Amino acid sequence: MLFFANAARVTARLELLQKIDLKLKILKTIIRLCFDVRAINEKSYLNLVAALVEIGRMLGGWIKKTNGGQTNPPT
């Protein structure tokens, strides 16, 4: 999806980035649930969360840049 977002026009890019952001939030929830039910250990959980937080920061910056410096409208 990131490849499509990079090649898309601004309005389509913003939509794609917002979809990716939603999928990232879902993934964070799934990872947390996996940790809660002990499907993954604490070390793996912390590594995954750190990576997802960094991805979220990068994605948030890209959304902000695409959106003209404005923050995301609430979804």
* pLDDT tens digits along 15-69: 899 999 999 999 999 999 999 999 999 999 999 999 999 999 999 999 999 888 7
User: In this predicted structure, what is the pLDDT of residue 8?
Assistant: 66
Distance CA 28, CA 44 (A): 13
Residue 55 lies in a domain: yes
pTM of the model: 0.77
Residue 72 lies in a domain: no
Boundaries of domain holding 26 = 2-66
Give me the number of domains the chain comprises.
1
What would the two tokens of residue 1 be?
Answer: 């999806």
Average pLDDT over residues 7-19: 83
